[in-house]
Amino acid sequence: MAKKQKALDFQAILEQVNADFPTYQALDKDGKIVNPDLVPDLSDDELVELMTRMVWSRVLDQRSTALNRQGRLGFFAPTAGQEASQLASQFAFEKEDVLLPGYRDVPQLIQHGLPLKEAFLWSRGHVAGNLYPEDLKALPPQIIIGAQYVQAAGVALGLKKRNKKNVVFTYTGDGGSSQGDFYEAINFAGAYHANAVFYIQNNGFAISTPREVQSAAPTLAQKAAAAGIPGIQVDGMDPLAVYYVSKEAREWAANGNGPVLIETLTYRYGAHTLSGDDPTRYRTKEMDTEWQEKDPLVRFRKYLTEKGLWTEEKEEQIIEQTKEEIKAAIAEADRVPKQKVSDFLKNMFEVQPQNIKEQIATYEAKESK
């Protein structure tokens, strides 16, 4: 008797679900174009500007680490290795687009318009670090994992209801894609065709938890399918591909087609944060070396040098300028008056109840001595 064919083939269903999520790449690790179709239409000046921002971000990471160790900076999440994922994506958006960052996304926030001094004050936990200029379309970095996704969905719907052609863009890590907020946000934005571009910066680890135990899905981009929105995976160490995909996603969302989810495959060279994490406990030297060979600055430097747009002297000049910018900004932050307990109490309520008024008076008396 012939073997009866199964009415349901779960393996075939699984294979179908996992299909068609290639990694898009324009520039390989040697700085060579491997897919001309993904090379964006950027002028020579724009290419140089993008590289300048990436070098600036690497220096900012190095100096912020040093300032943290000196006790002059508070909370800091290292960004080295993620320059293409962060800065090439932000480069694709417009000033009137709204950025909702996570705590590792301070470089994008500064490039979007936040003064560096305010970024340092935010790291120190100073309220002045959250007082944004009126023309800055952004919210302060979210510390709660994935919470910025929910906020982004709401802001994106607001833009759509006001018939704006601008979009919201927001970031989380691979660990953030396991949060309930992640699913709620992309589902809500998808249902209302809201103007949003969601990024998952897959740097391999959620603190120390490896990506492979985060989800059984071969890609994180395919999680978009559950919300009925496009999902795409891109080489997050390739600034050209990240920019191209981001620009296309922005145009799609701005034109009322709904949100896009982009997974960038990237790597953070440093710790999760400088608040006690030790990456040598869960990452190998071989893994670090493998990713350093894909370094976004190295490959973009090779590409621009071959085009005659970049030199070692130019890069050194940018490095020195950035160091001076950081030195001036941290000095400005140092001059901002330190916070007092009475200030915290005053900031708690717009209209202070009697018990808070009494506490303010008590602390002001102590602070005046």
Is residue 296 domain-shared with residue 353, that is, in the same domain? Answer: no
Other CB atoms within 10 A of residue 348 CB: 12
* SS3 state at 234: strand
Is residue 168 domain-shared with residue 291, that is, in the same domain? Answer: yes
Is residue 246 domain-shared with residue 345, that is, in the same domain? Answer: no
Is residue 228 domain-shared with residue 85, that is, in the same domain? Answer: yes
Q: What is the rounded distance in angstroms from the CA atom of residue 124 to the CA atom of residue 329?
A: 13
pLDDT at 2: 62
pLDDT at 9: 85
Residue 4 located in a structural domain: no
Give the range of the structural domain holding residue 348, as residue numbers without chain letter.
340-368
Burial zone of 5 (CB within 10 Å; 0-12 exposed, 13-18 middle, 19+ buried): exposed
Q: What is the pLDDT along the chain (369 residues), one digit of tens a residue?
A: 566 667 888 888 888 888 889 999 999 999 999 999 999 999 999 999 999 999 999 999 999 999 999 999 999 999 999 999 999 999 999 999 999 999 999 999 999 999 999 999 999 999 999 999 899 999 999 999 999 999 999 999 999 999 999 999 999 999 999 999 999 999 999 999 999 999 999 999 999 999 999 999 999 999 999 999 999 999 999 999 999 999 999 999 999 999 999 999 999 999 999 998 999 999 999 999 999 999 999 999 999 999 999 999 999 999 999 999 999 999 999 999 999 999 999 988 889 999 999 999 999 999 988
CA 170 to chain centre: 7
pLDDT at 219: 96
Is residue 363 domain-shared with residue 275, that is, in the same domain? Answer: no
pLDDT at 260: 98
Residue 9 located in a structural domain: no
C-beta of residue 54 within 8 angstroms of C-beta of residue 299: no
Other CB atoms within 10 A of residue 49 CB: 13
Active site residue 268: yes
| Residue 20 one-letter amino acid | D
DSSP string, 91-106: TTS-TTSEEE-BTT-H
Q: Which of 242, 238, 243, 245 is nearest to 294 (CA)?
A: 238
Catalytically annotated residue among 268, 283, 299, 301: 268
C-beta of residue 235 within 8 angstroms of C-beta of residue 265: yes
Tokens of 89: 């994506």
Catalytically annotated residue among 132, 192, 282, 363: 282
b/e per residue 245-272 (b: at least 16 CB within 10 A): bbbbbbebbbeeebbbbbbbbbbbbbbb
Residue 233 located in a structural domain: yes
Catalytically annotated residue among 63, 126, 272, 301: 272
Q: Where are the alpha helices (DSSP H) in the chain?
A: 10-17, 44-69, 83, 89-90, 106-112, 116-123, 147-161, 180-191, 239-254, 285-292, 296-306, 312-335, 341-348, 354-367
Q: Which of 242, 329, 266, 318 is nearest to 55 (CA)?
A: 318
Is residue 234 domain-shared with residue 356, that is, in the same domain? Answer: no
CA 167 to chain centre: 16
Q: What is the rounded distance in angstroms from the CA atom of residue 205 to the CA atom of residue 210?
A: 4
Q: Which of 259, 250, 201, 255 is nearest to 230 (CA)?
A: 259
Residue 252 located in a structural domain: yes
C-beta of residue 205 within 8 angstroms of C-beta of residue 280: no
Residue 1 located in a structural domain: no
Is residue 244 domain-shared with residue 363, that is, in the same domain? Answer: no
Is residue 63 domain-shared with residue 41, that is, in the same domain? Answer: yes
Q: What is the rounded distance in angstroms from the CA atom of residue 106 to the CA atom of residue 12?
A: 43
Q: Which residues have CB under 8 Å from 16's CB, separation 6+?
A: none
Residue 363 located in a structural domain: yes
Structural domain count of the chain: 2
Is residue 299 domain-shared with residue 350, that is, in the same domain? Answer: no
Is residue 97 domain-shared with residue 222, that is, in the same domain? Answer: yes
Residue 116 located in a structural domain: yes
Residue 8 located in a structural domain: no
* CATH code at position 274: 3.40.50.970
pLDDT at 292: 96
Active site residue 192: no
Active site residue 282: yes
Is residue 310 domain-shared with residue 228, that is, in the same domain? Answer: yes
Is residue 23 domain-shared with residue 149, that is, in the same domain? Answer: yes
pTM of the prediction?
0.95
